[in-house]
Amino acid sequence: MFHFEATLLAHLFFGLSLLVILPLLRRRDLVLHLLLLLSLGILFYASSLATLFIGWEMMGWSSYFILASSARVATLQRYILFNLGGAFALLGAIALLYGFMGSLEYRDIDASLLPPWAMNAIALLLFVAVFVKSGIIGLHDWVVDSYSEATPLFSAILSAILSKAGIYLFIVMFMVLLKEGATEPLLFEIMAWLGVITSIVATFKAISQDEMRRLLAYSSIAQIGYIITILALMQGFALEAALYHTLIHTLIKLLLFMNIASIIAITQKERFSELGGMIYHAPVLFLLLVIGIIALAGMPLLGGFNSKFLIYTALLEEKRALLLGAVMFSSASAFLYCYKLVYGIYLGQRPQEASLHVSPKSYYLPQLLSAALLVLLALLPSLPVGYLSVIGVELGFAPLDDSNLFILQSAFGSFHGGALMGAFGVAFVALLGLLQLAHSKAKKVKDPLDISYCGEVPRSETNLHFGYGMGYELHRISFIAPLLRHHSRVLWDRLSLIASDFSALLSSLYSLSAQHVTLLALLLFTLLLLGGQ
Amino acid sequence: MMSYLEEHYELIHKTPRLFALHVTREQLLDTLHQITTHTSFDTLSQLTCTDWIEEERFELGYMLTNALRSHNLMLKCSIARDKVTMPSLALLFAQAEVMERELHEMFGIGFEGNETLYDFALEGWCDIPPMRREFDTLAYVNAHYDFREGREDNLDVKEEIKKRKAAAKSAKETPSGA
Amino acid sequence: MDEGFIPYQQSLEDEEQSIKSTQSVIEQAIAWFRAHSMFVLAYGTGCGAIEMPPTFTSRYDIERLGVVGVATPRQADILIVSGYCSPKTLKRVIRSYEQMSEPKYIIGLGSCTINGGMYWDSYNTIKKLDDFLPVDMYVNGCMPRPEALIEGFVKLQEKIRANSSEAGYIQYRTRYAHYRANQERLFGTQVQPRYEENFAGMNL
Amino acid sequence: MLLLDLLLMLLIAYGFGFLYYGLYRNLSARVHGRFGPSLAQSFSDSIKLFVKEESTTFGWMFYLGPVIMASGAVLNVLFIPFLNQGESLQGLSSYGNLIVVLYLMVLGPLGNALGVGSSGNPFGVMGVTRGLTRLLALELPFYLAAIGVMIDAGSADFGIIMQAQSTQSNMFAHPLLFAAAFISFLGFMGKSPFDVVGAPQEVYSGPATEFSGKFLALLMSQSAMFSFAKLLLMVNLFWGGADHLGELVAKTFVLFVAATFIGSVYARFSTVQSVEFLIRIPTLLGIVGLALL
A52-76 tens-digit pLDDT: 999 999 999 888 988 888 889 989 9
For residues A197-207, average pLDDT = 93
Q: Are B99 and B64 contacting, i.e. CB atoms less than 8 angstroms apart? A: no
Indicate which CATH number applies to the domain containing B107: 3.30.460.80
Q: Strands of A357-460 (E only): list them.
A: 407-410, 413-416, 441-445
Write the residue in D34, D200, D212 that is nearest to C58 by C-beta: D34
Residue B155 pLDDT: 64
Q: How far is D270 from chain C (nearest CA, A)?
A: 19
pLDDT at C1 over 50: no
D29 touches chain C (CB under 8 A): yes
In this structure, of A427-436, A506-515, B164-173, the range with the lowest mean pLDDT score is A506-515
Q: Does B175 fall in a domain?
A: no
Q: Does B177 fall in a domain?
A: no
Q: Does B159 fall in a domain?
A: no
Q: Quick check: helix, strand or coil at residue A198? A: helix
Task: Return the residue of C nearest to D32 by Cα.
Answer: C58
pLDDT at C201 over 70: no
CA D146 to chain centroid, in Å, comes to 15
Delineate the domains of chain C, giving CATH numbers in brackets: 37-194 (3.40.50.12280)
Task: Return the residue of A nearest to C190 by Cα.
Answer: A457
How does DSSP assign D29-70, residue by residue?
HHHTTS----TTHHHHHHHHHHT-SEEEE-SHHHHHHHHHHH
Q: Does B77 fall in a domain?
A: yes
**How do the residues of chain A divide into helix, strand and coil, expressed in percent and rounded to 5?**
70, 5, 25
Q: Does B162 fall in a domain?
A: no
Task: Return the residue of C nearest to A442 by Cα.
Answer: C203
C95 touches chain B (CB under 8 A): no
- Spans of all domains in chain D: 2-291
Q: Quick check: helix, strand or coil at residue A499? A: helix
Question: Cβ of C204 and D33 within 8 Å?
Answer: no
The residues in C 33-72 lying below 8 A from A, measured between CB atoms, are 72
Give the whole-angstrom CA distance, residue D191 versus residue D188. Answer: 8
Q: Are D176 and D285 contacting, i.e. CB atoms less than 8 angstroms apart? A: yes
Q: Which residue has the higher pLDDT, A19 or A222?
A: A222
Chain C hits for A443, CB-CB cut-off 8 Å, are 199-203
Chain D hits for C63, CB-CB cut-off 8 Å, are 25, 29, 34, 36-37, 41
Question: Cβ of D205 and C75 within 8 Å?
Answer: yes
For residues C122-136, average pLDDT = 91
Q: Does B85 fall in a domain?
A: yes
pLDDT-derived band at A154 (thresholds 50, 70, 90) equals confident
Q: Give the closest residue to C70 by CA, choosing from D125, D48, D58, D66.
A: D48
Q: Number of residue pairs across A and D with CB atoms under 8 Å?
A: 238
Q: Give the closest residue to D124 by CA, choosing from D181, D197, D179, D217.
A: D197
Q: Are B50 and B58 contacting, i.e. CB atoms less than 8 angstroms apart? A: yes
Question: Cβ of D150 and A412 within 8 Å?
Answer: yes
Task: Report how many domains make up chain B.
Answer: 1
The residues in C 68-107 lying below 8 A from A, measured between CB atoms, are 72-74, 91-93, 95-96, 99, 101
D99 touches chain A (CB under 8 A): yes
Residue A14 pLDDT: 67
pLDDT at A2 over 60: no
Q: Does B139 fall in a domain?
A: no
Chain C hits for B122, CB-CB cut-off 8 Å, are 87-88, 124
| Average pLDDT across chain C, whole number | 85
C-alpha torsion A441→A446→A451→A455, nearest 10:
-100
Q: Are A222 and A198 contacting, i.e. CB atoms less than 8 angstroms apart? A: yes
Task: Return the residue of A nearest to C204 by Cα.
Answer: A442
Chain C hits for D41, CB-CB cut-off 8 Å, are 36-37, 63, 66
Question: Cβ of D107 and A319 within 8 Å?
Answer: no
Residue C19 pLDDT: 56
The residues in A 321-360 lying below 8 A from D, measured between CB atoms, are 321-322, 324-325, 328-329, 332-333, 335-336, 338-339, 342-343, 346-349
For residues C78-83, average pLDDT = 92
Query: How many CB atoms within 10 Å of residue C202?
Result: 10
In tens, the pLDDT along A353-411 reads 678 888 888 888 889 989 999 999 999 988 888 877 777 777 777 777 778 888 888 88
For residues C120-130, average pLDDT = 89
In tens, the pLDDT along B79-127 reads 988 877 889 998 889 999 999 999 999 998 989 888 888 888 888 888 8
Q: Does B79 fall in a domain?
A: yes
Residue A321 pLDDT: 92
Chain A hits for D101, CB-CB cut-off 8 Å, are none
How does DSSP assign C5-59, residue by residue?
HHHHHHHHHS--TTHHHHS-HHHHHHHHHHHT-EEEEEE--SGGGGGHHHHHSTT
Q: Strands of chain D (E only): list them.
A: 54-57
Q: Are D279 and A479 contacting, i.e. CB atoms less than 8 angstroms apart? A: yes
Task: Return the residue of D nearest to A422 by Cα.
Answer: D75
Chain A hits for C96, CB-CB cut-off 8 Å, are 452, 455
In this structure, of A216-220, A335-339, A479-483, D170-174, the range with the lowest mean pLDDT score is A479-483
In tens, the pLDDT along D206-258 reads 899 999 989 999 999 999 999 999 999 999 999 988 999 999 999 999 999 99
For residues C182-192, average pLDDT = 82
D9 touches chain A (CB under 8 A): no
- Our CA angle for A447, A451, A453, nearest 5°, is 140
pLDDT at C120 over 90: no
Residue C143 pLDDT: 85
Question: Cβ of A348 and D120 within 8 Å?
Answer: yes
pLDDT-derived band at B178 (thresholds 50, 70, 90) equals very low
pLDDT-derived band at A5 (thresholds 50, 70, 90) equals very low
Residue D204 pLDDT: 85
Q: Give the closest residue to A107 by CA, choosing from A58, A46, A165.
A: A46
Chain C hits for D212, CB-CB cut-off 8 Å, are 74-75, 101
Residue C164 pLDDT: 78
- A and D in touch (3+ CB pairs within 8 angstroms): yes
Residues in contact with D243: Cβ distance below 8 Å, sequence separation at least 6, in sequence order: D83, D84, D85
- Our CA angle for B85, B88, B93, nearest 5°, is 155
pLDDT at B152 over 90: no
Residue A1 pLDDT: 41
pLDDT-derived band at C203 (thresholds 50, 70, 90) equals very low
For residues C168-189, average pLDDT = 88
Question: Cβ of B148 and C187 within 8 Å?
Answer: no
Chain A hits for D52, CB-CB cut-off 8 Å, are 439-440
Stretches where chain D sits below pLDDT 70 are: none
Question: Cβ of D144 and A325 within 8 Å?
Answer: yes
Q: Quick check: helix, strand or coil at residue B87? A: strand
Euclidean distance between the first and the last CA atom of chain D, given in angstroms as a whole number: 41
Residue B74 pLDDT: 92
Q: Are D134 and D196 contacting, i.e. CB atoms less than 8 angstroms apart? A: yes
Q: Are B86 and B111 contacting, i.e. CB atoms less than 8 angstroms apart? A: yes
Boundaries of domain holding B63: 2-125
Chain B hits for C87, CB-CB cut-off 8 Å, are 122-123
Q: Are A465 and A276 contacting, i.e. CB atoms less than 8 angstroms apart? A: yes
C-alpha torsion C132→C137→C143→C146, nearest 10:
-140
Question: Cβ of B122 and C124 within 8 Å?
Answer: yes
| Average pLDDT across chain B, whole number | 86
Rg from Cα positions in chain A:
26
C88 touches chain B (CB under 8 A): yes
Question: Cβ of D60 and C36 within 8 Å?
Answer: no
Q: What is the ipTM of this complex?
A: 0.87
| Average pLDDT across chain D, whole number | 91
